[in-house]
């Protein structure tokens, strides 16, 4: 037994609030988010979307098949936001574990789960805001797509006679021209109908949907990567980056991540009425709206809960053990 | 309520195949205690279990009668100064201490007041408003101490606080630890340098390869050491002349001459040290440096494990 002489013990420590601890952890995380090269990488990743959109608008001022929505969905929502979330969220907690600074936080009376949630809040809020900046920057470019891209389709006139077989489709009764794309035996003769293939995304509702989808995507992906970083640690950032870049490029991981993005797309798209025509085809493959909304809220909670539980249960094994 | 500040019952901690602490059982009533051990002895693991950062693989670790791991209420009463020098470098020292007080749960003016008081106490106030990335090693040591003290803990756990410290900081830390002990706080301070700890407290706990090798007062451990021959190394440009003088000293049992260095071994180190200045003066020999390799902890453990 080690028993040196002792003086009377000092008075008990003052009471403290774990909520203050959580808020301070969030503030700390936010300040860390704004430090170092991370913010420049994030801005670079985010600038790809408006840059590419401006190229498309410049090359095809009348609009291709709706560059804004196409790029937003395929390049930004399923691509750039993924990288932004990866860069922004993984180090938010794992860098403290890696550097050893987490020990300053863990030896405090604020429960570890509160610290994890605080750190998450401090990185996920700016992350969501940052992902909205490129959308806002691209919106003026999208407004330039005011002239609808028109397509001419051939439809059968029900009052006409049956369409005879042609070599390359059906044959017009009147002109005798072959009309590709029409089925043999359709009733009536052909008439033409011109309609816009898309609607320019000029409505504020569509802007809000795009902003919402960006923020929701950032929260969903960001929470996934934050939690993975908290559980696995920062060295795995490289492995994860490899997985996302290489595997997603060749299309394996993309399928898994696409599941997450579907929740965001579902909730965002189904909140629009009418849905932009570009996405009309997607709707039949997307789950119902309630599932989209549920996914957006449930998945982050599950990821964050796993990170909080893990950090509470796990011993901190830092440097110099 | 437990009468002990710290109770370890058969505490074992391993990392995979490596055992860092083996079946440690001890009770620590309070006051200032030095935790001594070589690198890899298990000191940091011991301290991390105390702070609740790490759970024992086996056994029970109690601090103030409560389980240390997963017990946030307990951490109100503990201050921890880790051994590493990593901080939130983009902050000023004051922001760092205030942030940790915030994590602790203090808000507003109370946070600022406590931070200022802690920084003043460790003499860090003058550089507290500069960014940490520009801090010297000594400033960082002071800052670590400030954050550990800022919430007025009953038990302070200081992991190698004198590592790399210059003489002024060393003196300040030693004075601070003594003052904390006088205030009735319990302090556990780890080091691998015996004389550093000796300057702060006579109460020691020696860890070696994860086991408690000895616990008690310095004089008991010194006694164990002094029963063995003690080495003294003298650096001089006239090695042969010095060796000739020392060879005539009856307290010297062995003598080696190297390049500008004479090493002697003596079973009576206290008597030898007392007589040495006069011997050198009488012989008129210049000696630039006197050191005892045996003062370091390697030698202590060598004596204890071999003895």
pLDDT per position as a tens digit, B234-250: 888 888 889 999 998 88
Q: What is the pTM of this model?
A: 0.77
Instruction: Output the six-digit token pair for A1.
Output: 């037994």
In sequence order, which residues have a C-beta less than 8 Å from that of residue A18 and are 6 or more positions away?
A109, A110, A111, A114, B72, B105
In sequence order, which residues have a C-beta less than 8 Å from that of residue B275 and are 6 or more positions away?
B249, B251
Q: Which residue has the higher pLDDT, B172 or A281?
A: B172
Q: Is pLDDT at A39 greater than 90 in this prediction?
A: no
CA dihedral B273, B275, B276, B277 (to 10 degrees): 110
Instruction: Output the six-digit token pair for A206.
Output: 């569509």
Q: B86: which chain A residues are within 8 Å (Cβ-Cβ)?
A: 99-101
- CB proximity B133 to A under 8 Å: no
Give, for A85, the enclosing helix (H) or strand (E): helix A81-99
Q: Which of residues 261-300 of B touch A (CB under 8 A)?
A: none
Q: Is pLDDT at A199 greater than 60 in this prediction?
A: no
- CB proximity B181 to A under 8 Å: yes
Whole-angstrom Cα distance, residue A315 to residue B214? 28
Question: SS3 sequence, chain B?
Answer: CCCCCEEEEEEEEEECCEEEEEEEEEEECCCEEEEECCCCCCHHHHHHHHHCCCCCCEEEEEECCEECCCCHHHHCCEEEECCCCCCCCCCEHHHHHHHHHHHHCCCHHHHHHHHHHHHHHCCCHHHCCCEHHHCCHHHHHHHHHHHHHCCCCCEEEEECCCCCCCHHHHHHHHHHHHHHHHCCCEEEEEECCHHHHHCCCCEEEEEECCEEEEEEEHHHHHHHHHCCCEEEEEECCCHHHHHHHHHCCCCCCEEEEECCEEEEEECCHHHHHHHHHHHHHHHCCCCCEEECHHHCHHHHHHHHHHC
- On whether the CB atoms of residues A260 and A303 are closer than 8 A, the answer is no
- On whether the CB atoms of residues B55 and B70 are closer than 8 A, the answer is yes
- On whether the CB atoms of residues B111 and A24 are closer than 8 A, the answer is no
DSSP single-letter state for residue A189: -
Q: B12: which chain A residues are within 8 Å (Cβ-Cβ)?
A: none
For residue B152, what pLDDT is reported?
92
Query: Whose CA is closest to A57, among A145, A147, A120?
Result: A145
Q: Is pLDDT at B298 greater than 90 in this prediction?
A: no
Whole-angstrom Cα distance, residue A272 to residue A267? 9
Q: Tell me the per-residue pLDDT of A281-318, one tens digit each, with 9 for 90 and over.
A: 666 667 777 787 888 888 899 999 999 999 988 888 76
- CB proximity B12 to A under 8 Å: no
B190-215: average pLDDT: 85
Of A6, A28, A105, the CB nearest to B29: A6
A187-197: average pLDDT: 53
Confidence label for B111 from pLDDT (cuts 50, 70 and 90): very high
Residue B49 to chain A, least CA–CA distance (Å): 9
Of A178-187, B196-205, B253-262, the poorest mean pLDDT is in A178-187
B144-152: average pLDDT: 95
Q: Is pLDDT at A11 greater than 80 in this prediction?
A: no
Q: A111: which chain B residues are within 8 Å (Cβ-Cβ)?
A: 72
B137-160: average pLDDT: 94
Residue contact A18–B72, C-beta within 8 A? yes
- On whether the CB atoms of residues B112 and B98 are closer than 8 A, the answer is yes
**Sign (positive or negative) of CA dihedral A132, A134, A140, A146:** negative
Whole-angstrom Cα distance, residue A77 to residue B107? 39
Confidence label for A232 from pLDDT (cuts 50, 70 and 90): confident
Of A2, A13, A316, the CB nearest to B153: A13
Confidence label for A167 from pLDDT (cuts 50, 70 and 90): very low
Strands of the sheet with B58-63, listed across from one edge: B18-28, B6-15, B58-63, B66-67
Of A3, A103, A111, the CB nearest to B72: A111
Q: Is pLDDT at A65 greater than 80 in this prediction?
A: no
Compute and round to an integer the Cα radius of gyration of chain A: 27
Instruction: Output the six-digit token pair for B259.
Output: 């390049």
Taking the domains of chain B in order of start, what are their residue ranges?
Answer: 6-224, 229-304
Of B26, B54, B87, the CB nearest to A316: B54
Whole-angstrom Cα distance, residue A122 to residue A124? 6
Which chain A residue shows the shortest CA-CA distance from B6?
A2
Q: Tell me the per-residue pLDDT of A110-161, one tens digit each, with 9 for 90 and over.
A: 999 999 999 999 999 999 998 999 988 888 887 776 555 555 555 555 555 5
- On whether the CB atoms of residues A286 and B52 are closer than 8 A, the answer is no
Of A15, A21, A100, the CB nearest to B102: A21
Half-sphere exposure of A5 (CA within 13 A, CB side): 4
- On whether the CB atoms of residues A254 and A221 are closer than 8 A, the answer is no
Residue contact A108–B53, C-beta within 8 A? no
* CATH fold group of domain B6-224: Rossmann fold (3.40.50)
Which architecture, in CATH terms, is B229-304?
2-Layer Sandwich (3.30)
Of B70, B76, B152, the CB nearest to A10: B152
Residue contact A24–B102, C-beta within 8 A? yes
Q: Tell me the per-residue pLDDT of B74-108, one tens digit each, with 9 for 90 and over.
A: 999 999 999 888 999 999 999 999 999 999 999 88
Residue contact B27–A2, C-beta within 8 A? yes
Long-range contacts of the stretch A204-211 (C-beta < 8 A, 24+)? A205/A272, A206/A272, A206/A276, A207/A135, A207/A139, A209/A268, A209/A269, A209/A271, A209/A272, A210/A72, A210/A135, A210/A139, A210/A268, A211/A132, A211/A135, A211/A136
CA dihedral B173, B178, B182, B188 (to 10 degrees): 80
The owner of tokens 């109460």 is: B203
ipTM, 2 dp? 0.79
Residue A195 to chain B, least CA–CA distance (Å): 58
- On whether the CB atoms of residues A95 and A32 are closer than 8 A, the answer is yes
Residue contact B107–A20, C-beta within 8 A? yes
Confidence label for B178 from pLDDT (cuts 50, 70 and 90): very high
Whole-angstrom Cα distance, residue B167 to residue B169? 6
Q: Residue A67, class by beta-carbon neighbours within 10 Å (0-12 exposed, 13-18 middle, 19+ buried)?
A: buried
Percentage of chain A beyond pLDDT 70 is 59
Q: B73: which chain A residues are within 8 Å (Cβ-Cβ)?
A: 109
Residue contact A315–B69, C-beta within 8 A? yes
Whole-angstrom Cα distance, residue A195 to residue A150? 6
Mean pLDDT of chain B: 87
| B143-163 residues labelled b (16+ CB within 10 A) or e (exposed) | bbbbbbbbbbbbbbbbbbbbb
Whole-angstrom Cα distance, residue A152 to residue A287? 31
Strands (E), chain A: 150-156, 165-166, 169-171, 178-179, 190-196
């Amino acid at each position: 037994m080690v028993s040196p002489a002792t003086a009377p013990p000092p008075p008990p420590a003052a009471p403290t609030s774990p909520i203050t601890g959580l808020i301070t952890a969030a503030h700390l995380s936010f300040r860390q988010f704004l430090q170092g090269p991370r913010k420049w990488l994030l801005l670079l990743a985010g600038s790809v979307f408006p840059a590419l959109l401006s190229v498309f608008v410049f090359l095809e001022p009348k609009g291709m098949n709706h560059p804004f929505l196409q790029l937003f969905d395929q390049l930004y929502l399923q691509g750039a936001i993924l990288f932004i979330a990866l860069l922004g969220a993984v180090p938010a907690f794992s860098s403290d574990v890696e550097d050893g600074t987490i020990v300053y936080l863990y030896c405090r009376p604020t429960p570890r789960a509160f610290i994890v949630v605080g750190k998450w809040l401090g990185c996920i809020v700016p992350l969501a805001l940052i992902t909205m900046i490129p959308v806002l920057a691209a919106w003026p470019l999208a407004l330039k797509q005011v002239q609808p891209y028109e397509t001419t389709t051939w439809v059968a006139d029900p009052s006409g006679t049956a369409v005879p077989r042609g070599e390359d489709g059906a044959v017009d009764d009147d002109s005798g021209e072959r009309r590709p794309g029409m089925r043999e035996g359709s009733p009536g003769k052909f008439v033409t109908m011109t309609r816009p293939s898309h609607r320019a995304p000029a409505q504020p509702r569509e802007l809000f949907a795009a902003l919402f989808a960006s923020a929701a995507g950032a929260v969903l992906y960001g929470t996934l990567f934050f939690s993975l970083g908290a559980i696995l640690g920062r060295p795995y950032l490289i492995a994860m980056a490899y997985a996302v870049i290489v595997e997603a490029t060749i299309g394996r991981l993309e399928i898994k991540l696409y599941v997450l993005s579907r929740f965001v797309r579902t909730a965002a798209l189904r909140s629009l009425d009418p849905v932009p025509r570009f996405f009309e085809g997607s709707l039949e493959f997307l789950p119902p709206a309630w599932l989209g909304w549920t996914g957006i809220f449930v998945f982050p909670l599950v990821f964050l809960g796993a990170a909080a539980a893990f950090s509470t249960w796990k011993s901190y094994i830092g440097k110099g053990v | 309520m437990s009468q002990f500040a710290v109770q370890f019952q058969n505490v074992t901690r391993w990392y995979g195949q490596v055992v860092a602490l083996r079946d440690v059982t001890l009770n620590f009533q309070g006051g200032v205690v030095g935790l001594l051990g070589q690198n890899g002895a298990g000191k940091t693991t011991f301290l991390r279990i105390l702070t609740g950062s790490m759970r024992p693989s086996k056994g029970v670790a109690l601090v103030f009668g409560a389980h240390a791991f997963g017990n946030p209420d307990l951490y109100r009463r503990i201050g921890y100064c880790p051994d590493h020098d990593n901080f939130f470098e983009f902050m000023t020292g004051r922001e760092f201490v205030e942030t940790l007080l915030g994590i602790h749960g203090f808000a507003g003016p109370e946070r600022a007041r406590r931070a200022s008081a802690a920084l003043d106490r460790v003499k860090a106030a003058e550089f507290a408003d500069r960014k940490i990335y520009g801090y010297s090693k000594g400033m960082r040591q002071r800052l670590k101490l400030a954050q550990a003290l800022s919430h007025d803990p009953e038990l302070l756990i200081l992991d190698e606080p004198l590592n790399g410290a210059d003489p002024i900081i060393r003196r300040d830390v030693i004075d601070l630890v003594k003052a904390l002990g006088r205030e009735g706080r319990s302090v556990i301070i780890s080091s691998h340098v015996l004389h550093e700890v000796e300057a702060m407290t006579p109460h020691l706990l020696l860890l070696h390869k994860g086991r408690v090798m000895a616990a008690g007062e310095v004089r008991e451990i010194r006694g164990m050491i002094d029963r063995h021959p003690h080495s003294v190394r003298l650096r001089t440009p006239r090695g042969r002349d010095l060796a000739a003088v020392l060879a005539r000293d009856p307290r010297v049992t062995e003598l080696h001459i190297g390049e500008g260095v004479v090493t002697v071994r003596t079973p009576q180190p206290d008597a030898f040290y007392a007589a040495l200045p006069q011997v050198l003066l009488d012989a008129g020999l210049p000696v630039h440096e006197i050191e005892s390799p045996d003062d370091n902890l390697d030698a202590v453990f060598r004596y204890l494990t071999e003895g």
